């Protein structure tokens, strides 16, 4: 049973995600949606899902609108934590990254994500392209050489990353990692002199080293201009965080490191170094768009170098400045007519039973655990209707089950079930649509569409649920079980109106609950989801409907 359910789910999402967009049509809008790249060293948990799901809702909505959509993401494969873990486990970093990449890809498909392309930073095309991008920034003078002093371990005979060091925190006196102490203190260069190497326990010393730096300070005026022009559409957290960094003044950052796991640097004199993860991962939005477009006969510049395109960045609040400052800075440094991201959809944190999800504390529920026991549609719905959109929010299994049972199953599921499964009904009756409902449906498409485009998903779900509730009130007040015997014309109008309401609810809910919408389309012979009012003609056969949702205990 589980297996069958899984296979069906897998098939549905695969078809959707692999279906190329229709060919370019100048009347359509060009939409880019970039979902943040999860890091390849632990399974995806509900916090990831809460932050990334808005991307899939946007992608499905714009596809229903008939727009040209490119929705991309991928696995962030490089960086010190993976190297450290590989050393501990006696495996290669590449093995670990590949393993998680495959797992993430499957988890996203299971959850109904419809990426046009889900890639990885170990992708050869990505690697070659970001190397060229870095060369371009270097030629343009935005990347320059600078000598600095870095912790060096004589025993291990290499420069260490900050997080490979242990020291006594000068602020709280506890043991701290070199990149940041649990108390919030960030060690200075002097603090790191004499810190301990995590690999061999020997003391390190600072040694002169040459690295390439990104001239963020030089780009500050342009980024400020970009921020002032665009941030009206951003979520408040991204506005505040970006403003804070700009006020403090942007500092140049090293883009190269002495590591053995990462993308090679091709700039002469730096061939033995790797790119820092932060510079290459965010460029994946562009490399994956290029790759997808090349494979599907589309022009990627219509998305990334077109003033009329709209670019959404979807991520959690710990990733804001990578998207609101770093990515725009890299695009500006290439000086090649790139469109900068328009909208930041930055989620707050999801707490589980009021405790912050933390990998180190081990209380993050993985999505793979949830998929085994719970309904994918209602899980998606719960996270969009009650998720951390504007402030941190809580997830508890009890709250989720309450929403699954009393909001979705009792209201939406019940309306669908008691209409389509009305005793003796096997096709849509010859009735007339209640004109008041026709108008309500029109308004819902407009209102919900506006909310989704603005990243206000909670409000969008409220509008649709309101329509469901009105549908149930209409059904109750019309009493079709009595009309059936007393007034056949009124009965036909009632059922006809409810069937058409349900057909349109399947469109409105498609971005949020794609599987149940797909079922309704099967029952009512609707070809595909569209963002406009549809009509199910009288005498359409209602094929074998079953309840959309099962109650959970």
Identified binder of Zn ion from the candidate list 144, 185, 322, 374, rule CB under 5 A: 185
Q: Using CB under 5 A, which residues numbered 271 to 290 contact Zn ion? A: none
Residue 186 binds Zn ion (CB under 5 A): no
Among 8, 23, 128, 155, interactor with Zn ion by CB under 5 A: 155
| 166 binds Zn ion per the rule CB under 5 A | no
CB of 158 to Zn ion, least distance (A): 8
Applying CB under 5 A, which of residues 7, 18, 186, 200 lies at the interface with Zn ion? 200
> What angle separates helix 93-110 from helix 2-18, to the nearest 10 degrees?
100
Q: How far out from the chain centre does Cα 95 lie? A: 25
Return contacts of 338-342, CB within 8 angstroms, 24+ apart: 338/286, 338/304, 338/305, 339/304, 339/305, 339/306, 339/307, 339/309, 339/311, 340/226, 340/230, 340/311, 341/34, 341/230, 341/311, 341/312, 341/313, 342/230, 342/233, 342/310, 342/311, 342/312
Q: How far is the CB of 189 from Zn ion (least distance, A)?
A: 17
**Shortest gap between Cβ of 203 and Zn ion (angstroms)?**
9
Tokens standing for 397?
Answer: 């299994």
Q: How far apart are CA 110 and CA 532, in angstroms?
A: 27
171 binds Zn ion (CB under 5 A): yes
Residue 195, interface with Zn ion (CB under 5 A)? no
- Residue 18 found at the interface with Zn ion (CB under 5 A): no
Residue 186 CB, shortest distance to Zn ion, in Å, is 10
Judged by CB, which is closer to Zn ion: 154, or 264? 154
Closest approach, Cβ 173 to Zn ion, in A, equals 7
Q: Which region, judged by CB under 5 A, interacts with Zn ion, from 73-81, 145-153, 251-259, 455-463?
A: 145-153
Site for Zn ion in 42-61 (CB under 5 A): none
Q: Which helix (H) or strand (E) holds 459?
A: helix 457-478
Cα–Cα separations (whole angstroms), residue 180 to 150, 274, 289, 337, 355: 16, 22, 34, 37, 21
Residue with smaller CB distance to Zn ion, 102 or 189: 189
Instruction: Give 297's DSSP letter.
Output: T
Query: Closest approach of Cβ 208 to Zn ion, in Å?
Result: 19
Residue 181 buriedness (CB in 10 A; 0-12 / 13-18 / 19+): buried
Give the span between the Cα atoms of 504 and 70, in whole angstroms. Answer: 25
Q: Measuring CA to CA, how many Å separate 187 from each of 158, 171, 175, 197, 324? A: 20, 9, 12, 15, 25
Residue 165 contacts Zn ion per CB under 5 A:
no
The answer to whether 167 and 187 have CB atoms below 8 angstroms apart is yes
The residue within the footprint of Zn ion, chosen from 69, 86, 153, 444 (CB under 5 A), is: 153
CB of residue 161 vs Zn ion: minimum separation in angstroms?
Answer: 12
With contacts defined by CB under 5 A, name the span among 51-59, 134-142, 196-204, 263-271 that binds Zn ion. Answer: 196-204
Q: Is 198 in the site for Zn ion (CB under 5 A)?
A: no
Q: Which stretch binds Zn ion (CB under 5 A): 178-186, 263-271, 386-394, 463-471?
A: 178-186
- Of the pair 151, 387, the CB lying nearest Zn ion is at 151
Minimum CB–partner distance for residue 197 and Zn ion (Å):
3
CA distance 43 to 103: 8
Integer Cα distance of 187 and 171 in angstroms: 9
214 lies in the site for Zn ion, by CB under 5 A: no
- Is 199 a binding residue for Zn ion by CB under 5 A? The answer is yes
Asked if 349 interacts with Zn ion (CB under 5 A), we say no
Q: Based on CB atoms, which residue is closest to Zn ion, 169 or 357?
A: 169
Q: Order of strands across the sheet with 165-168?
A: 175-177, 165-168, 196-197
DSSP letters of 87-149?
HHHTS-HHHHHHHHHHHHHHHHHHTT---SEEEETT-HHHHHHHHHHHHHHHHTTSEEEEEEE
Neighbours of 399 (CB within 10 A): 14
Contacting residue, 183, 236, 427, 550, with Zn ion by CB under 5 A: 183
Write down the residue that tokens 């002495």 correspond to.
Answer: 258
Quick one: which segment of 92-100, 132-140, 165-173, 451-459 binds Zn ion (CB under 5 A)?
165-173
| Distance in Å, CB of 212 to Zn ion, minimum | 25
Q: What span, in angstroms and rounded, lies between the C-alpha atoms of 291 and 449?
A: 29
Choices 6-14, 193-201, 251-259, 391-399 (CB under 5 A): range interacting with Zn ion: 193-201
* Per rule CB under 5 A, count of chain residues that contact Zn ion: 13
Which of 53, 65, 134, 169 forms a contact with Zn ion (CB under 5 A)? 169
**Strands ordered across the beta sheet of 253-254:** 158-159, 143-153, 205-214, 253-254
| Assigned token pair, 411 | 């209201």
| Binding segment toward Zn ion, per CB under 5 A, in 68-76, 184-192, 413-421, 444-452 | 184-192
CB-nearer residue toward Zn ion: 168 or 410: 168
Q: Candidates 164-172, 210-218, 229-237, 317-325 — which segment interacts with Zn ion by CB under 5 A?
A: 164-172
> Are 389 and 503 spatial neighbours (Cβ–Cβ below 8 Å)?
no
Which positions from 436 to 475 touch Zn ion by CB under 5 A, shown as an x/- string? Answer: ----------------------------------------
Give the span between the Cα atoms of 436 and 441, in whole angstroms.
Answer: 9
Considering the complex, what minimum distance in angstroms separates the CB of residue 44 from Zn ion? 30
Where do we find the tokens 């060009």? 30
CB 120 within 8 A of CB 298: no
Minimal distance, residue 175 CB to Zn ion, in Å = 9
Interface residues with Zn ion (CB under 5 A)?
153, 155-156, 169, 171-172, 181, 183, 185, 197, 199-200, 202
């Amino acid at each position: 049973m589980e297996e069958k359910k899984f296979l069906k789910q897998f098939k549905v999402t695969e078809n959707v995600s692999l279906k190329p967009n229709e060919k370019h049509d100048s009347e359509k809008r060009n939409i880019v949606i970039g979902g943040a790249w999860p890091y390849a060293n632990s399974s995806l948990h509900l916090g990831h899902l809460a932050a990334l799901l808005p991307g899939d809702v946007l992608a499905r909505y714009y596809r229903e609108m008939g727009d040209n959509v490119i929705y991309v993401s991928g696995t962030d494969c490089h960086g010190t934590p993976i190297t450290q873990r590989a050393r501990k486990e006696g495996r290669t970093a590449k093995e670990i990254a590949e393993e998680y990449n495959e797992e993430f890809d499957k988890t996203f498909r299971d959850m109904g994500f419809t990426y046009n392309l889900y890639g990885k930073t170990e992708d050869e095309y990505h690697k070659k392209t970001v190397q060229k991008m870095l060369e371009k920034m270097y030629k343009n003078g935005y990347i320059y050489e600078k000598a600095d002093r870095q912790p060096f371990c004589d025993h291990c005979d290499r420069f260490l990353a900050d997080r490979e060091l242990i020291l006594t925190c000068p602020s709280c006196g506890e043991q701290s990692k070199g990149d940041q102490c649990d108390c919030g203190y960030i060690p200075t260069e002097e603090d790191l002199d004499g810190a301990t190497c995590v690999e061999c326990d020997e003391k390190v010393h600072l040694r002169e080293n040459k690295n390439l730096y990104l001239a963020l300070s030089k780009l500050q005026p342009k980024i400020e201009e970009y921020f002032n022009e665009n941030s009206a559409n951003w979520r408040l957290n991204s506005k505040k965080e970006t403003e804070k960094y700009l006020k403090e003044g942007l500092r140049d950052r090293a883009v190269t490191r002495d590591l053995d796991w990462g993308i090679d640097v091709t700039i002469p004199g730096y061939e033995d170094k790797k790119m820092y993860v932060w510079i290459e991962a965010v460029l994946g939005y562009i490399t994956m768009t290029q790759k997808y477009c090349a494979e599907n006969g589309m022009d990627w510049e219509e998305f990334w170098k077109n003033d009329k395109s709209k670019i959404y960045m979807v991520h959690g609040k710990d990733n804001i400045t990578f998207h609101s400052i770093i990515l725009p800075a890299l695009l500006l440094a290439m000086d090649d007519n790139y469109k900068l991201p328009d909208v930041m959809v930055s989620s707050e944190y999801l707490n589980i039973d009021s405790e912050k999800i933390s990998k180190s504390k081990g209380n993050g529920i993985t999505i793979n655990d949830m998929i085994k026991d719970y309904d994918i549609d209602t899980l998606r719905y719960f996270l969009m209707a009650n998720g951390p959109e504007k402030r941190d929010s809580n997830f508890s299994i009890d709250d989720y089950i309450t929403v699954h049972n009393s909001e979705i199953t009792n209201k939406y599921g019940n309306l669908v079930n008691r209409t389509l499964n009305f005793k003796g009904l096997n096709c849509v009756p010859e009735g007339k649509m209640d004109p008041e409902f026709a108008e309500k449906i029109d308004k819902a498409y407009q209102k919900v569409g506006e909310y989704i485009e603005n990243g206000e998903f909670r409000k969008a779900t409220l509008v649709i649920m309101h329509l469901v509730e009105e549908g149930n009130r209409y059904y109750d007040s019309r009493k079709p079980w009595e009309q059936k015997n007393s007034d056949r014309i009124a009965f036909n109008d009632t059922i006809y109106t409810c069937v058409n309401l349900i057909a349109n609810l399947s469109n409105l809910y498609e971005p949020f609950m794609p599987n149940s919408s797909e079922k309704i389309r099967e029952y009512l012979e609707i070809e595909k989801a569209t963002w406009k009012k549809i009509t199910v003609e009288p005498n359409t056969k209602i094929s074998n409907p079953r309840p959309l949702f099962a109650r959970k205990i």
